[in-house]
Amino acid sequence: MQTLEPSYQAQLQLELTGSRWRAIDKALVRFFQQQCPGLSALWLLLAGETSKASSEGHLCLEQQDAEAYLLRAGLALPDWAVRLAEAQVLISPAQLDERPLVYANGALYFRRYYSCQQQIQAYLQQGSTQSQWLRSQMSVPALKALLDGLFAKSAEADWQRLACALSASSQFSVITGGPGTGKTTTVVKLLALLQQWQRQQQQPPLRLVLAAPTGKAAVRLRSSIQKALASLALEPEIESVVPTQVSTVHKLLGARSHSKSFYHNAQQPLALDLLVLDEASMLDVELFSALLSALPAKARLVLLGDKDQLASVEAGALLGSLCAFAAEGRYSNATMQWLSALGDAPLPAELEAAVPQALDQQIAMLRQSYRFSADSGIFALAQAVNQGDLIQVQALCRQPKVDLQVLLQPSQLSLRQLVLSGQADGQGQSGFSGYLQLVRQQVRADSPWADEDQWAQEVLAAFGRFQLLCAVRQGEFGVQQVNQQVEQWLQAKGLVDAHTQWYPGRPVLVSQNDYGLGLMNGDVGICLRRDWQGKSVLAVAFASTEPGQAIRWVLPGRLPAHETAYAITVHKSQGSEFDHAVLLLPAEPSAVLTRELVYTAITRAARQFSLVCPQPALLLQAVSAKTSRAGALRLEL
C-alpha cells in the first residue's frame, strides 16, 4: 500500500495549490498535517474531500464517491481494510470526543454531523415506537367522531383528514404536500382536534407552540393560521387554546449571540407539549438536532413542508430524506385499516407496502391542490418540473397558460417593462410600481392609515406581491447585477431617488442574524421616511413576530449585514409566497441549476409566474438535474 503514497501525495499538493478546494478545505487539511504528522496523504485527501462535500450539502463522503474521486484523479483504489487501520488517529466511532472524523456505514463524516445523525436516528426510532403505543391507546370511534366534526363527508380519501388522524396519534409525524394542498388548514384542524381530545379525556389543554426557520416564514404562518381559524368557526373554548403566535426556531431555542449554542437544551428543555415546525425543508441537521435536544421527553413534534423544495443550504436534506417514499405511502396493513376506519373511504390499495417501514406510518402526503384550478399553468409547470417531464415543460413554454409568462432570450425592453408593470408588454398592473406609489403616500390627516405601522404593513404587503428570483448571485442575471439594473430603471422612471445608498422604498434583505434587534437572516424590510421624536428620519420597517407588535423599525445604521432585495436568490425566497414570482435563469451553466431550484421558484407564485430564460437549453438541463445528497437519514431505520 505504501507504494501508492507518492501518487496520493502528488494529488494532495495539486489540491492544496489548485482552485477546486475552498480555502477552508485547505486550511483543515493543513491543520491535520500539523496535528497528525504521520498521517497518510490518502486520508488527508479524503478529509479535504469530506470538507468539500459538506459545502455541497452532503452529510458525509460516501466510499463510492471517494473511489470515484480517486479514479478521476488517475489514482489506484486502496485496500480500505488496511488503510482504515492506519487512520485511527483521525477517525474512530468509538472515540467521538477525541477524533475529528468518523468512518461509519461505509462513509467518512465530520464528527459533529455523525453525532447529529445518530441523535436524529435515535429520536426517529423512539418516535416510531411511541407512536405505535399512542395509536393503540386511542379509541377509533371517539377519534372518528371528532374528525367528523372538523371535516365534511367525502366519497374519496380525504388526505387532510387522514393527515390529522396520523399526526394526532403520533409522537413524531410529518405532513408534506405541494403548494395549495392545505398544510396550514390541516395543522389548524389537527391542533383543534388534539385540544378537543384533551377535553374529552378530561385532561388540561396541551401547550402548543408554532415555529418556522425564518422570520418571514413565521409571519406568513401566523397570517395563514389566523385566516384558517377565522374560516373554521370553532368553539370559543377550543379556539382560545389554539395558538396564533409563531416564533423562529432560533428565538424559540434561545439563540446566543456569536455562538452555536442555545439556552434551551437537554438540561433546560422547552415548556411545551407539542411543537409544529413549518417549512421543515429549510432545516439542516445541526439545527434539527439542537431542537430535538430541547424537546421534553414526552413532547410531540409535527413537521410541515414540501418535500420537493430545495433543501437547506447547510448539510443534510432532512425533509426530503424523511419523505423519500411519501408519494408511495408504503403503509402497513394495520395502518391502512386504521386510516380507512377513521376516514369515509378506503385507501387506494397501491399505498400498502409488502415490507412496511416504521417511519412511513407517521408520514402523510396531501395530494390535492385547492389553490390552483385544473387549467393552471403554474400548477402544470410545477408538476412537469417535479416529474422531470421535459416534453411537457417545453410545451408549456411554447404555449403558456394565462397565469404563465415565458420570456425566451428576452430583450432589455421586455425585462424593463416586466420589472415596472409585471408584464413584458408593459400593460400589467403589478411589478414594482405599485408598492412605490404607496411609499410616497406618507401618513397624513387625510390618509387611510391610522398610523405609520399600518402604512408600513401595507407597503410591505404590496412589495411582497411581486418578486424577482435569481438562481445565482453573480453575472448578468445574478442577484447583484439585477438589483443594480432595477435601481437604474426605477430611478429613470422617477419612482425612486437612488443617488444615495438609503432612500424611501429601498427593499433590504438581512443576511446575518442579530438577536438583539430580533432580525434573522432572510428577513426583508423596506426603507421608509417616518416621524421620530418630531424629526423626519429614514428607518427600515420589518414585519414583527412579537405579540402585539406589527412592525419593527430599525435605523439603517443599526442593521446587521444586508443587501438590496428587488431580486433575491431562490434559496432566500423559501418560506415566502408572492402573487407574482419571476425566475431569472442565468445565461451560463451553473451547478446550482437543479430541478428542486426551478420547482421552488415556481411554487413561490400564487397567481402569476414568469420565467426569464436567456438560454432555453439551460432550463431543460436544470429540470434534468435532480439533487442527491449523501447521508440520507432513512438508511439506518
Q: Which residues does the annotation place in the binding site for ATP?
A: 177-184
CB of 70 within 8 A of CB of 77?
A: yes
Query: How buried is residue 170: exposed, middle or buried, by Cβ count under 10 Å (0-12/13-18/19+)?
Result: buried
Contact (Cβ atoms closer than 8 angstroms) between residue 326 and residue 363: yes
Task: Reduce the secondary structure of 184-210 to three states and give it as a string.
Answer: HHHHHHHHHHHHHHHHHCCCCCCCEEE
Backbone angles phi, psi at 305, to 5 degrees: 165, 170
d(CA 263, CA 627): 35
Nearest to 206 by CA among 169, 241, 173: 241
User: Phi/psi class of residue 202: alpha, beta or left (left: φ > 0; alpha: ψ in -120 to 50)?
Assistant: left
Backbone dihedral region for residue 551 (phi beyond 0: left; psi -120 to 50: alpha; all else: beta): beta
Which residue has 442527491 as its cell numbers?
A: 628
Containing 333, the helix (H) or strand (E) segment is helix 333-342
* H-state helical runs in 525-615: 570-573, 595-602
Contact of 491 with 498, CB cutoff 8 Å:
yes
Cβ-proximal residues to 583 (8 Å cutoff; 6+ apart), any chain: 469, 470, 471, 570, 598, 601, 602, 609, 610, 611, 612
Amino acid letter, 161 = R
d(CA 402, CA 608): 8
- Residue 389 burial (10 A CB sphere; 0-12, 13-18, 19+): middle
Sequence-separated contacts (24+) of 477-481 with Cβ below 8 Å: 477/584, 477/585, 477/586, 477/587, 477/612, 477/614, 478/586, 479/563, 479/567, 479/568, 479/569
Its sign, for the CA torsion 296, 315, 251, 277, is negative
Q: Mutual orientation of helices 433-440 and 452-463 as an angle, nearest 10°?
A: 170
Q: Residue 558 to residues 120, 517, 553, 565: CA-CA distances in angstroms?
A: 38, 9, 10, 18
Residue 535 is given by DSSP the state: E
| Contact partners, residue 139, CB within 8 Å, separation at least 6 | none
| 454 to 438, 458, 464: CA distances (angstroms) | 12, 6, 15
Give 109's contacts (C-beta < 8 A, 6+ positions apart): 50, 59, 60, 61, 101, 102, 103, 117, 631
Query: What Å distances lie between residue 282 and 122, 174, 379, 422, CA to CA?
Result: 21, 14, 22, 29
Question: How far, in Å, are 120, 187, 254, 285, 545 from residue 291 at the CA level?
Answer: 10, 20, 11, 10, 20
Q: What is the residue whose three cell numbers read 432612500? A: 503
